[in-house]
Homo-oligomer: A and B are copies of this chain.
Amino acid sequence: MHKYGLHGKLTATAGNGEKLASILLEAAERVSTAKGCRLYMVSKDHSNPDAVWITEAWDSKEAHDNSLQAAGVRELIAQAMPLLDGRPEKGPELEILGGAGIG
Taking Cβ atoms with an 8 Å cutoff, the residues of A that contact B are 5, 7, 21, 25, 28-29, 31-32, 37-48, 53, 55, 57, 92-103
Contact = CB atoms under 8 A, between A and B. Distances in A.
Given A94-B44, A95-B46, A37 B100 contact: yes
A99 B5 contact: no
Contacts of A42: 96-99
A97 B44 contact: yes
Per assembly, the copies of the chain total: 2
Given A7-B53, A55-B5, A55-B55, A43 B96 contact: yes
Given A25-B98, A45-B94, A57-B101, 7 more contacts: A29-B100, A39-B100, A41-B98, A41-B102, A43-B94, A46-B92, A53-B92
Contact of A99 (B39, B46, B97): B39
A67 to B, nearest CB: 11
Contacts of A48: 92
